[in-house]
């Protein structure tokens, strides 16, 4: 009986994916080429009618599609899909399933990237309570949520509490998961960011250099986690005034992003933004505006786009008439990115 159920589910997935990918068949389209975004949009719309008899599978596929939206920098669309999945799961009495809780975890991250910090914090606290009750305080998923809560608190301005929480998490993860485990490295990266936000850039550089060495060993060079670690390191070196080291780290990350990522990935946009801050500080205004424009047009997260006028790293650009135009354009792009499909 169980094998028959699994075969039925596999057949439903196959039928569903076949229907979705018909969109890329030239005989099914009147012209042009299909984009990843179009495929995701079609998949998101088909899930409700196509898999309504299997809510568990619905939620699982919604989680996958939502994560794919996030990788494209489409955080509002990710939020919408995650929320639908959580609603379906709750209606089916599966609100404490691991799939549902992992979807809540990713929903909080999508909210954070849109600058919806209070909503992200509230959801993370709710999720953390559920995970501690259902999974236990030392479970890897529970620790990951606690780390993300610390990151959100730091983004809200409470970096000291964020650092405290993530030091606790990192100590447990090294013991429970191992020093080279994926989530241990994620916490090292996040803790380094919070140390920098808490005006401890030297410690941030030291920790990120340690994390990058492990990323290179475990994940390899052309890997998103490794690239993010290089990006973080460049930011911390910038904070210390080590501009040449920072540019070296960021240009290296940008080169790898060109091999590994698409043209509109948020990581590439953030790298260009960070390079712009260093170029602006060194009086290379034309290059700084060029990188900023590319970042805004190709995946810069809305919360960063909206913070451009208040970013102290860009103060030297304020007197240039191009800056006001850039700010207005960034607000437009951020508003468009925050509209769900």
Using the structure block, give the residue that is written with the tokens 């499909």.
341
Tell me which residue range forms the domain holding 275.
262-341
Q: What's the pTM?
A: 0.76
Could you tell me how far CA 311 lies from the centroid of its own chain?
21
- Report the candidate in 210, 246, 247, 252 with the shortest Cα–Cα distance to residue 227: 252
The total of structural domains in the chain comes to 2
Could you tell me how far CA 74 lies from the centroid of its own chain?
10
- Report the candidate in 25, 29, 65 with the shortest Cα–Cα distance to residue 46: 65
CB 248 within 8 A of CB 258: no
Q: 1 is written with which tokens? A: 């009986």
The predicted pLDDT at position 264 comes to 86
**Residue 335: how many CB atoms within 10 A of its CB?**
12
pLDDT band at 73 (very low <50, low <70, confident <90, very high): confident
15 has a pLDDT exceeding 70: no
Phi/psi at 116 (5° precision): -90, 70
- Report the candidate in 227, 230, 166 with the shortest Cα–Cα distance to residue 198: 166
Average pLDDT value for residue range 61-78: 88
Average pLDDT value for residue range 245-258: 96
pLDDT band at 25 (very low <50, low <70, confident <90, very high): very low
On whether residue 75 sits in a domain, the answer given is yes
Ranking 26-40, 178-192, 319-333 by mean pLDDT, the lowest is 26-40
pLDDT band at 340 (very low <50, low <70, confident <90, very high): low
On whether residue 106 sits in a domain, the answer given is yes
What's the Cα-to-Cα distance from 86 to each of 62, 93, 195, 259, rounded to whole Å? 9, 11, 33, 35
pLDDT tens digit string along 252-270?
A: 999 999 999 888 889 999 9
The predicted pLDDT at position 21 comes to 42
11 has a pLDDT exceeding 90: no
The predicted pLDDT at position 26 comes to 37
The predicted pLDDT at position 33 comes to 44
pLDDT band at 317 (very low <50, low <70, confident <90, very high): very high
The predicted pLDDT at position 48 comes to 60
Domain end marker among 78, 96, 114:
114
More confident residue, 144 or 47: 144
Q: What CATH number is associated with residue 81?
A: 1.25.40
The predicted pLDDT at position 13 comes to 52
On whether residue 181 sits in a domain, the answer given is no
On whether residue 158 sits in a domain, the answer given is no
- In the chain, the percentage of residues whose pLDDT exceeds 90 is 70
Domain end marker among 114, 142, 164:
114
On whether residue 69 sits in a domain, the answer given is yes
Helix/strand/coil for 39: helix
Domain end marker among 114, 143, 177:
114
C-alpha 249/C-alpha 149 separation (Å) is 28
102 has a pLDDT exceeding 50: yes
pLDDT band at 232 (very low <50, low <70, confident <90, very high): very high
pLDDT tens digit string along 104-160?
A: 999 999 999 999 999 999 999 999 999 999 999 999 999 999 999 999 999 999 999
Helix/strand/coil for 179: coil
173 has a pLDDT exceeding 50: yes
On whether residue 147 sits in a domain, the answer given is no
């Amino acid at each position: 009986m169980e094998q028959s159920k699994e075969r039925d589910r596999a057949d439903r997935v196959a039928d569903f994916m076949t229907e979705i990918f018909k969109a890329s068949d030239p005989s099914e389209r009147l012209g042009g080429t299909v984009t990843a975004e179009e495929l995701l949009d079609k998949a998101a719309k088909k899930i409700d009618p196509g898999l309504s008899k299997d809510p568990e599978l619905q939620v699982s596929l919604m989680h996958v599609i939502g994560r794919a939206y996030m990788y494209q920098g489409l955080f509002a669309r990710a939020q919408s899909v995650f929320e639908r999945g959580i609603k379906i799961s709750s209606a089916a009495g599966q609100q404490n399933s691991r799939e549902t809780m992992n979807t809540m975890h990713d929903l909080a991250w999508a909210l954070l990237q849109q600058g919806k910090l209070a909503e992200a914090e509230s959801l993370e606290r709710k999720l953390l309570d559920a995970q501690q009750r259902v999974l236990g305080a030392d479970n890897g998923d529970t620790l990951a949520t606690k780390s993300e809560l610390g990151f959100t608190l730091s983004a809200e301005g409470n970096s000291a509490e964020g650092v405290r929480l993530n030091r606790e998490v990192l100590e447990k993860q090294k013991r429970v998961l191992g020093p080279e485990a994926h989530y241990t490295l994620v916490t090292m990266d996040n803790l380094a960011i919070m140390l920098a936000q808490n005006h401890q850039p030297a410690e941030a550089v030291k920790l990120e250099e340690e994390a990058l060495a492990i990323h290179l060993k475990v994940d390899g060079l052309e890997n998103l986690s490794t690239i993010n670690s290089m990006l973080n390191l460049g930011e911390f070196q910038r904070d210390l005034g080590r501009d040449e080291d920072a540019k070296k780290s960021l240009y290296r990350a940008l080169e790898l992003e060109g091999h590994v990522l698409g043209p509109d990935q948020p990581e590439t946009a953030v790298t260009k933004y960070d390079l712009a801050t260093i170029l602006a500080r060194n009086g290379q205004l034309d290059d700084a505006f060029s990188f900023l424009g590319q970042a805004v047009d190709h995946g810069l997260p809305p919360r960063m786009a909206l913070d451009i006028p208040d970013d102290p790293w860009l103060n030297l650009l304020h007197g240039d008439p191009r800056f006001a135009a850039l700010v207005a354009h960034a607000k437009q792009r951020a508003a468009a990115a925050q509209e769900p499909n």
